[in-house]
């Protein structure tokens, strides 16, 4: 019968049962598009979590980009410094010396031109220029060596940054509290950080290096020009700015187009994946859905082809416009130089050197503008990743001195209410109960009535929104979260199919893939019926349970369920929660599991909670809690609840009648 703790149990009367939450659903439309049809495909992706920064560089002004660059460079520098100090110092030093070599090489080239354009017979001029030519060769060789050094240092730093970021990211996301994972927004942010942040973090170091090299190239050339004639410094912006403007336009157009292209690609990948994936193969065929999917795939790939062509034509036009502007710049340069030469402000040789230097600067500026756009946009994704990591740091489970006890006498819920993030109504509404060591209790009730939520609260996976969960009188929120979870074994209806060996699929419940207690592993497998499954696999314990790998084996849903139960039993924790673990098992296997759980307990002090829709399997439980709409509406033993003649008795009779009717038909 109900215990004093079961304060919320309402044993009788239909009036006590809250009305089911339901909404009236209208008729669906008779036809619907498979995907976006008209207009810009990016329109319906404005809110897509993975595209928030796509095209940001195309929208930013040049000023915004330039203003932000120093901060980005500092941030990436900081990441590099943390990843490998020596390689970072080497990277910066080599880059600076390489830029100096470039500038010296340019000066030597100008000196060569000076000799060649000077007065005197040509053979003498060529002979006189030889030392400078050798100098040019020396500077260029030194630069090539230094650039190789930069590449080596970059190759050392980049993977370390990526590895460190990825390790931090996975560590933080794998440990955030369970209710955080339930939040769809957090999920979107996590996927975006994983897809984009980590991807661009790997590329951005190289891009920042290119940016620095282009900038140093411009500075070096400006220095050389100033040495040739101070007025040439004024000529530099006149000559290179048209080229810079063309570079900006072309970089923006590319980013804008990439956003559209990327949106299409993602859609196409969804269809390719559905057409290829093993898990969808059977249903696709039985639904004869291939044609519909292929048609949509075809429509999208056609649009990608159009987008590719548009992109190609655009970039050809932009390049033409860029060259035109570049031509204007060159025209300005030559005119101004010609005027300076005519005015006798500098010798002809210096003019030739200036042309060389200005052309070098034009190349560096184009590169700078291109890379600046890339760095600007990609840095947004990296910032996003770092901000997400900071957020996850604040969402980690409680770390406390107090740890959960190795054996638990009682677990009690007192007026526990729990509302999922983003929901208005509570999934669990003022529930109270007490479970004692050695007991087996069952949670039954209609879908969505709160059974699984309640079991997760018992296990300390969720913290109550109101009320408290106490283990031996101590509020679980005062205990270290991981220590609580270590004392709970959970077996779910859709267990994880780890793509590991059969043995590792069992040992993982004790947090290891490599160490096993052979005796206990066999005992757990025998109790769950997994022993026969494993014995039938080539390689038995070592058999790899995934068809996705060479030599891997595939199991049926029921066989996986047996492995999952074995995993739960192997953990041998003081609390065992079985959330419909036998739903996919055959009746014999199900019976065997309940025998193992109910009668041959491997731990007599274990608190066992069984969630099941097959009421025949809960008949022998010490106590049964009946959930409805987040509340407990009845509790007691099977006999007590049958006598009560309430919701449980009605459900039980309904199920039993089904079997009896079938049995009756067979007899007839
Ligand atoms: N992760 C989640 N995020 C948001 N709402 C959830 C989540 N899990 C469950 N819910 C909601 O909480 C309520 C209770 O769900 P719960 O899974 O506890 O029910 P249940 O009795 O175990 O159902 P079933 O018998 O179908 O397994 C339902 O309304 C469900 O939609």
Domain-wise residue ranges, the chain: 59-229+381-396, 230-345, 403-487+574-668, 494-572
Nearest residue to 204 via CA among 166, 162, 257, 252? 162
Q: Locate 562 and state its tokens.
A: 């047996």
Q: What gap in Å lies between CA 261 and CA 443, rounded to an integer? A: 51
Residue 659: per-residue pLDDT: 66
pLDDT of residue 329: 73
% of the chain at pLDDT higher than 70:
87
Contact 442, 624 (CB under 8 A): yes
Measure the CA–CA gap between 229 and 172, rounded to whole angstroms.
Answer: 58
User: CA nearest 488: which of 552, 394, 406, 565?
Assistant: 406
pTM of the predicted model, to two decimals? 0.75
Taking residues 619-646, what's their average pLDDT? 94
- Answer with the residue of higher pLDDT: 626 or 23: 626
pLDDT score at 2: 40
Atom of ligand 1 nearest to the CA of 425: 29
> In the CATH scheme, what is the homologous superfamily, with its name and number, of domain 403-487+574-668?
P-loop containing nucleotide triphosphate hydrolases (3.40.50.300)
Asked which of 360-374, 421-435, 582-596 is least confident by mean pLDDT, the reply is 582-596
Mean residue pLDDT of the chain comes to 83
Radius of gyration of the chain measured on its C-alpha atoms: 36
Which of the residue ranges 84-93, 199-208, 248-257, 366-375 would you say has the lowest mean pLDDT? 248-257
Q: Of 185, 453, 612, which is best to mutate to test ligand 1, by the most ligand atoms within 8 angstroms of its C-beta?
A: 453
Average pLDDT over residues 478-495: 91
Nearest CA residue ID for atom 26, ligand 1? 447
Q: What is the pLDDT of residue 7?
A: 37
Helix (DSSP H) and strand (DSSP E) numbers for the chain: 20, 10
For the chain, how long is the longest CA-to-CA vector?
A: 124
Look at residue 108 and tell me whether its pLDDT is greater than 80: yes
Task: In whole angstroms, give the CA distance from residue 611 to residue 625.
Answer: 10
CA 338 / ligand 1 centre spacing (Å) = 81
* Ligand 1 probe mutation, 452, 458, 459, 578, most atoms within 8 A of CB: 452
Query: Which comes out higher in pLDDT, residue 56 or 607?
Result: 607
Centroid of ligand 1 to alpha carbon of 629 (angstroms): 10
For ligand 1, atom 29, which residue shows the shortest CA distance? 448
Q: How far is the CA of 533 from the centre of ligand 1 (A)?
A: 31
Please determine, for residue 439, whether its predicted confidence score (pLDDT) is greater than 70: yes
pLDDT in tens, 243-302: 667 667 766 776 666 667 777 777 888 889 889 987 788 888 888 888 988 998 898 888
- 427 CA distance to ligand 1 middle (Å): 7
Q: Which of 46-50, 126-130, 521-525: highest mean pLDDT?
A: 521-525
Please list the residues that pair with 491 across neighbouring strands. 578
User: Rounded to whole angstroms, how far apart are CA atoms 456 and 463?
Assistant: 9
DSSP readout, 201-263? HHHHHHHHHHHHHHHHHHHHHHHHHHHH-TTHHHHHHHHHHHHHHHHHHHHHHHHHHHHHHHH
Please say if the pLDDT value at position 63 is more than 90.
Answer: no
Digit-coded pLDDT (tens) for 566-604: 999 999 999 999 998 887 777 777 777 777 777 666 678
- What confidence category does residue 340 fall into, taking pLDDT thresholds of 50, 70 and 90? confident
The CA 21 to ligand 1 mean position distance, Å, reads 13
Split at pLDDT 50, 70, 90, the class of 21 is: very low
Q: How many residues does the chain have?
A: 668
- Please say if the pLDDT value at position 350 is more than 60: yes
Ligand 1: lining residues by beta carbon, under 6 Å: 182, 420, 423, 427, 445, 447-453, 627
Q: For residue 454, how far is its CA from the centre of ligand 1 (angstroms)? A: 10
pLDDT greater at residue 248 or residue 449: 449
């Amino acid at each position: 019968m109900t215990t004093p703790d079961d304060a919320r149990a309402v044993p009788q009367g239909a009036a006590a049962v809250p009305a089911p939450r339901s909404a009236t659903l209208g008729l669906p439309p008779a036809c619907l598009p498979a995907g976006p049809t008209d207009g810009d495909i990016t329109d319906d992706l404005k809110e897509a979590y993975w595209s928030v920064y796509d095209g940001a560089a195309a929208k930013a002004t040049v000023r915004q980009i330039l203003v932000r660059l120093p901060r980005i460079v500092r941030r990436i520098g900081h990441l590099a410094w943390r990843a490998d100090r020596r390689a970072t110092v080497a990277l910066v030093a080599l880059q600076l010396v390489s830029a100096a070599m470039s500038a010296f090489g340019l000066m030597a080239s100008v000196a060569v031109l000076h000799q060649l354009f000077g007065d005197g017979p040509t053979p003498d001029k060529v002979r006189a220029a030889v030392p400078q030519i050798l100098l040019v060769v020396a500077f260029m060789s030194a630069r090539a060596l230094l650039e190789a050094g930069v590449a080596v240092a970059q190759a050392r730093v980049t993977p370390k940054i990526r590895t460190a970021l990825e390790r931090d990211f996975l560590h933080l996301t794998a440990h955030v509290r369970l209710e955080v994972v339930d939040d769809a927004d957090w999920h979107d942010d996590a996927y975006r950080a994983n897809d984009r942040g980590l991807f661009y973090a790997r590329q951005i170091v190289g891009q920042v290096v290119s940016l620095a090299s282009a900038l140093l190239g411009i500075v070096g050339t400006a220095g050389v020009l100033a040495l040739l004639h101070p007025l040439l410094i004024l000529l530099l912006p006149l000559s290179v700015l048209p080229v810079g403007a063309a570079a900006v336009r072309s970089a923006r157009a590319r980013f804008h187009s990439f956003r559209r292209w990327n949106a299409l690609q993602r859609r196409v990948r969804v269809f390719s994946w559905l057409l290829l994936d093993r898990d969808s193969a059977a249903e696709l065929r039985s639904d004869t859905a291939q044609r519909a999917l292929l048609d949509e795939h075809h429509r999208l790939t056609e649009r990608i082809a159009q987008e590719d062509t548009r992109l190609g034509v655009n970039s050809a036009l932009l390049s033409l416009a860029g060259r035109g502007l570049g031509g204007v710049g060159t025209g300005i340069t030559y005119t101004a130089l010609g005027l300076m030469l005519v005015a006798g402000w500098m010798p002809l040789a210096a003019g030739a050197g200036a042309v060389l230097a200005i052309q070098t600067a034009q190349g560096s500026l184009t590169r700078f503008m291109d890379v600046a756009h890339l760095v600007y946009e990609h840095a947004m994704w990296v910032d996003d990743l770092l901000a997400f990591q900071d957020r996850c740091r604040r969402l980690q489970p409680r770390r406390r001195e107090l740890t959960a006890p190795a054996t638990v006498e009682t677990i009690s819920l007192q007026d526990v209410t729990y509302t999922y993030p983003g929901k208005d109504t509570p999934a669990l509404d003022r529930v109270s109960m007490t479970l004692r060591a050695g007991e087996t209790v069952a949670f039954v009730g209609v879908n969505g009535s709160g059974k699984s939520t309640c079991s997760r609260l018992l296990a300390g996976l969720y913290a109550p929104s109101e009320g408290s969960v106490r283990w031996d009188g101590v509020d679980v929120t005062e205990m270290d979260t991981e220590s609580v979870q270590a004392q709970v074994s959970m077996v779910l209806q859709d267990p994880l199919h780890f793509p590991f060996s059969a043995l590792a699929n069992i040992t993982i419940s004790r947090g290891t893939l490599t160490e096993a207690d052979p005796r206990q592993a066999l005992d757990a497998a025998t109790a769950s019926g997994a022993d026969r499954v494993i014995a039938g696999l080539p390689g038995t314990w070592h058999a790899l349970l995934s068809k996705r790998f060479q030599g891997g084996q595939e199991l049926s849903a029921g066989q996986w369920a047996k492995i999952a139960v074995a995993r739960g039993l192997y953990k041998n924790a003081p609390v065992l929660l079985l959330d419909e673990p036998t739903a996919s098992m055959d009746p014999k296997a199900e019976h065997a599991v309940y025998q193992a759980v109910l009668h041959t307990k491997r731990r007599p002090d274990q608190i066992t909670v069984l969630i099941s829709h097959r009421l025949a399997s809960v008949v022998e439980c010490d106590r049964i809690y009946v959930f409805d709409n987040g509340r407990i509406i009845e509790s007691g033993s099977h006999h007590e609840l049958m006598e009560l003649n309430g919701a449980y008795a009605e459900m039980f009779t309904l199920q039993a009648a089904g079997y009896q009717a079938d049995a009756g038909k067979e007899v007839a």
